[in-house]
Amino acid sequence: MDKVNELKEKGNTALNAEKFDEAIAAYTEAIALDANNHVLFSNRSAAYAKAAKFREALEDAEKTIALNPSWAKGYSRKGAAAAGLRDYMKAFEAYNEGLKYDPQNAMLLQGRTEITASVLNYMQSQGDIPMDIDPQQSSSSGGGGGNSFDSTPASKPAEPPKPAEPRPEDMTEEERNKYFAKKEKELGNAAYKKKEFDTALQHYNAAIEHDPTDITFHNNIAAVYFERKEYDACIKQCEKGIEVGRENRADFKLIAKSLARIGNTYRKLENYKQAKFYYEKAMSEHRTPEIKTSLSEVEAKIKEEERRAYIDPTKAEEEKEKGNEYFKKGDYSNAVKHYSEAIKRNPDDPKLYSNRAACYTKLAAFDLGLKDCDTCIKLDEKFIKGYIRKGKILQGMQQTSKASTAYQKALELDPNNAEAIDGYRQCSMNFQRNPQEVLKNAMSDPEIQQILKDPAMRMILEQMQNDPNAVKEHLQNPAIADKIMKLLESGIIQIH
């Protein structure tokens, strides 16, 4: 359980730092150790949602609910994931279900409010709910006349007849224009849903002729152009709609919708910086989860583009040579500076990390050097120098057993490597000369301390002491095997 909590905290830290993939990896490792922990699935659901992987987020949310049906946060996670997938009905149902268990839960109440507003706004913009009708109003209609409701109790008063729809000839000119514009929009929406885009355009343009003051018609035309991949026309139509909307004091939500559509269009064109600009403008008008998610996604794209654009192996080699020159002069700080620039220029070259690790060793920055060695080995598992550098750093940190393991890895790749042989021999001699010191250093390692504090591990170690063959059985459990190997590497336990 200590390991599970450690991994959970690691995931929480990564999530707070917006390192979503790292958080997901930590939670996944924790779940492998404790598959019935509903909090782990909930946290991973949050990480998936932040990374815009909403389908995975929904699966984890549903697993959370299955493990603990009365825990309100599980329903909040499900609502957020469903909203990300634009399955608004599922999101609404999730928030409602959670409120049965915790009626005052702020997250659930806010989620239900936001999803309701999003659905109504969407339906209104699509013409599914007329803007002048209260969405809470009953949609049922009275029917027939005379005696068509014979079964109604006599005491119930008859429903008043619905007022007849005003006739165009009885309207003012402005009312008549808006009436015919609305009818054209409804016809356009019907054609749009059938993907009859030419027909939809005819009706939306006719709506504008009747009422040129409504931004909605321009938004609808832009939607048609977007579907037809006529992106320049889509942007121009959105810009025209924004202009019309500003002049006629349109709802800020409709302005935001036009700006977001321009952002979507630039995103399709892979112009992520322009997409970011328009998403930010849309957010300044009206913040929605959808726009926020889109903004986060394009920001990640921009960051990756900038990273890739900076890569230049030729310049990396130039920086490496400068680093080598400073290293030979003993100016390790400047050497680190140039090796770091070389890494930015070519982040997949293991030799650069190895060189910088050598500088960190000279500067006694062992933690940084060890991190570079691990990166170097991750990039190339057969890069001997990485293991040798790691061994030397661990020796400097007085972690003799771990250093010995690093040298052993190098010798597996090249049994005749002089540096690896010498390093391994020094570790062996150090342990033989001063085993108490080696054990003392091992005991100061927080990871080793954590393992030895685990009651289950203490019981296993006692069992192994009485029955050395018991280790074989325990090695079948991956989690226990990992802890035993760490104790072996540290010199805490030995098997002869």
Residues 299 and 349 both lie in one domain: no
Listed residues 264, 282, 305: the one ending a domain: 305
Q: Write the CB contacts of 74 (distance below 8 Å, at least 6 apart in sequence).
A: 38, 42, 61, 64, 65, 68, 98
pLDDT, averaged across the chain: 84
Assess if residue 393 is contained within a domain: yes
At residue 142, the pLDDT reads 36
Q: pLDDT band at residue 261, thresholds of 50, 70 and 90?
A: very high
Q: What is the pLDDT of residues 441-465, one digit of tens each?
A: 666 677 778 888 888 888 887 777 7
8-state DSSP, 373: H
Between CA 454 and CA 2 the distance in angstroms is 7
Assess if residue 130 is contained within a domain: no
Residues 120 and 198 both lie in one domain: no
Residues 475 and 457 both lie in one domain: yes
Residue bearing the bigger pLDDT, 163 or 362: 362
At residue 495, the pLDDT reads 47
Mean pLDDT, range 31-51, rounded to an integer: 92
Could you tell me if 353 and 343 are in contact, meaning their C-beta atoms sit under 8 angstroms apart? yes
Residues 374 and 412 both lie in one domain: yes
Between CA 84 and CA 444 the distance in angstroms is 47
Assess if residue 322 is contained within a domain: yes
Could you tell me if 388 and 417 are in contact, meaning their C-beta atoms sit under 8 angstroms apart? yes
Residues 226 and 336 both lie in one domain: no
Residue bearing the bigger pLDDT, 28 or 452: 28
Domain CATH code at residue 492 = 1.10.260.100
Record the pTM: 0.46
Listed in sequence order, the DSSP H helices in 380-468 are: 384-396, 400-413, 418-433, 435-443, 446-453, 455-466
Name the 3-class secondary structure at 121.
helix
Residue bearing the bigger pLDDT, 142 or 462: 462
Residue 214 pLDDT exceeds 90: yes
Assess if residue 137 is contained within a domain: no
Listed residues 125, 160, 191: the one ending a domain: 125
At residue 406, the pLDDT reads 92
Q: pLDDT band at residue 128, thresholds of 50, 70 and 90?
A: very low
- Domain coverage including residue 460: 446-496
Could you tell me if 394 and 376 are in contact, meaning their C-beta atoms sit under 8 angstroms apart? no
What percent of the chain has pLDDT above 90? Answer: 57
Residues 323 and 279 both lie in one domain: no
Residues 285 and 231 both lie in one domain: yes
Residues 367 and 484 both lie in one domain: no
Between CA 189 and CA 201 the distance in angstroms is 10
Residues 285 and 256 both lie in one domain: yes
Q: pLDDT band at residue 104, thresholds of 50, 70 and 90?
A: confident
At residue 156, the pLDDT reads 44
Assess if residue 349 is contained within a domain: yes
User: Please, what is the Cα angle at 125 between 183 and 137, to 5 degrees?
Assistant: 80
What DSSP element (H or E) covers 166? none
Task: Specify the number of domains making up the chain.
Answer: 4
Among positive and negative, which fits the CA dihedral 85, 88, 90, 91?
positive
Listed residues 90, 109, 125: the one ending a domain: 125
Assess if residue 235 is contained within a domain: yes
- CA quadruple 211, 212, 215, 216: dihedral, nearest 10: 40
Name the 3-class secondary structure at 65.
helix
Residues 332 and 298 both lie in one domain: no
Could you tell me if 404 and 428 are in contact, meaning their C-beta atoms sit under 8 angstroms apart? yes
Assess if residue 331 is contained within a domain: yes
Residue 485 pLDDT exceeds 70: no
Between CA 428 and CA 298 the distance in angstroms is 53
Residues 278 and 328 both lie in one domain: no
Domain CATH code at residue 322 = 1.25.40.10
Between CA 281 and CA 174 the distance in angstroms is 33
Q: Write the CB contacts of 217 (distance below 8 Å, at least 6 apart in sequence).
A: 181, 185, 204, 207, 208, 211, 241
Residues 301 and 318 both lie in one domain: no
Backbone angles phi, psi at 445, to 5 degrees: -75, 120
Assess if residue 133 is contained within a domain: no
Q: pLDDT band at residue 158, thresholds of 50, 70 and 90?
A: very low
Residue 42 pLDDT exceeds 90: yes
Token output for 358: 């050598």
